[in-house]
């Protein structure tokens, strides 16, 4: 059980959804958990629930995360904070693109830059990146989201190359739809409306299923690296093929059902 190797964790996006569940699970496994997010009330709630150490920090602020990790010895880094915006490149504005790059990609890269050297020096550590099926499949819209998640997929693989020879493990967890409030945030609708639209009557994975995957990857022996877990709802599949037919000025779009 590699858990005995790990004493401390830093989880971004711990104020909600998957990050909350992962932070809670790592506490239950006996780790000291630094929980990062912007919503200090939610972080305090999590602290009261399970004793995480809350840090109200915007991960897009590189100076703030630099200050946050200064002096910390972190054995497990979980890059989970994420934002998503609807729309193709045609509907994106400058803020949409910058925010997603800053939170979903830049923050993760900087945290790896800051924490990986200590893990390599100690010859022990684990980085878990929560990406998305959006990094591997195209399903239209959310272009910057797809791009940042694809980038973190590559980062996850590259990290293993960078850490080669040391007992530092890297796991990418690539979920499909999971029941969280992210859809309410994306569409700027109430959690109840989002629930009706995205979850009701569907059998969608829960945040505890993602925490199970993290626990599994961390708990394997240190000589095993679980590189990637694609965690999709059984009743959700990516894929399909569309072909457009041009007849004069008309465009007929076809696709499989």
Ligand X SMILES: NC(=O)c1ccc[n+]([C@@H]2O[C@H](COP(=O)([O-])OP(=O)(O)OC[C@H]3O[C@@H](n4cnc5c(N)ncnc54)[C@H](OP(=O)(O)O)[C@@H]3O)[C@@H](O)[C@H]2O)c1
Active-site residues: which are they?
145
Q: Which is nearer to ligand X, 150 or 182 (CB)?
A: 182
Tell whether residue 19 is a contact of ligand X (CB under 6 A).
yes
Rounded to whole angstroms, how far apart are CA atoms 241 and 236?
16
Q: Where are the beta strands (DSSP E) in the chain?
A: 8-12, 32-37, 53-56, 76-79, 125-130, 168-175, 228-231, 242-247, 250-255
Tell whether residue 100 is a contact of ligand X (CB under 6 A).
no
Phi (first) and psi of residue 79, to 5 degrees: -85, 100
Q: Which of residues 118-177 bind ligand X (CB under 6 A)?
A: 130, 132, 175, 177
Q: Which is nearer to ligand X, 81 or 112 (CB)?
A: 81
Rounded to whole angstroms, how far apart are CA atoms 135 and 148?
7
Question: What x/- string results for residues 186 through 225 when contact with ligand X is judged by CB under 6 A?
Answer: ----------------------------------------
Q: Which stretch binds ligand X (CB under 6 A): 1-9, 52-60, 153-161, 216-224?
A: 52-60
Binder to ligand X among 2, 6, 9, 13 (CB under 6 A)?
13
Rounded to whole angstroms, how far apart are CA atoms 235 and 119?
39
Identify the CA nearest to 40 among candidates 27, 30, 53, 50.
Answer: 53
Q: Which is nearer to ligand X, 6 or 183 (CB)?
A: 183
For the CA atoms of 70, 129, 105, 119, what is the dihedral angle to 10 degrees? 30
Binder to ligand X among 85, 180, 213, 218 (CB under 6 A)?
180
The least distance separating ligand X from the CB of residue 245, rounded to whole angstroms, comes to: 33
**Beta partners for residue 66, in sequence order:** none
Interface residues with ligand X (CB under 6 A) are 12-13, 15-19, 37-39, 58-60, 80-84, 103, 130, 132, 175, 177-178, 180-182, 185
């Amino acid at each position: 059980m590699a858990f005995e190797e790990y004493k401390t964790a830093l989880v971004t996006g711990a104020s909600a959804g998957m990050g909350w569940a992962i932070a809670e699970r790592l506490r239950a496994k006996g780790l000291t958990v630094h929980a990062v997010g912007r919503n200090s009330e939610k972080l305090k709630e999590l602290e009261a629930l399970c004793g995480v150490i809350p840090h109200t920090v915007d991960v897009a602020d590189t100076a703030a995360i630099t200050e946050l990790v200064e002096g910390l010895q972190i054995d497990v880094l979980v890059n989970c904070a994420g934002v998503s915006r609807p729309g193709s490149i045609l509907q994106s504005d400058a803020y949409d693109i910058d925010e997603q790059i800053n939170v979903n990609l830049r923050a993760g890269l900087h945290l790896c830059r800051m924490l990986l050297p200590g893990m390599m020096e100690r010859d022990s550590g684990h980085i878990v990146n929560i990406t998305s099926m959006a990094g591997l499949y195209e399903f239209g819209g959310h272009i910057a989201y797809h791009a940042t998640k694809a980038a973190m997929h590559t980062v996850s693989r590259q990290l293993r190359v960078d850490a080669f020879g040391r007992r530092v493990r890297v796991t990418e967890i690539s979920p499909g739809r999971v029941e969280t409030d992210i859809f309410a945030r994306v569409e700027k609708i109430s959690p109840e409306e989002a629930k009706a639209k995205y979850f009701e009557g569907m059998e969608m994975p829960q945040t505890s299923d993602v925490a199970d995957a993290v626990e599994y990857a961390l708990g394997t022996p240190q000589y095993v690296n679980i590189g990637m877990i694609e965690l999709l709802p059984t009743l959700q599949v990516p894929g399909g093929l569309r072909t457009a037919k041009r007849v004069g000025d008309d465009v007929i779009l076809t696709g499989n059902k």
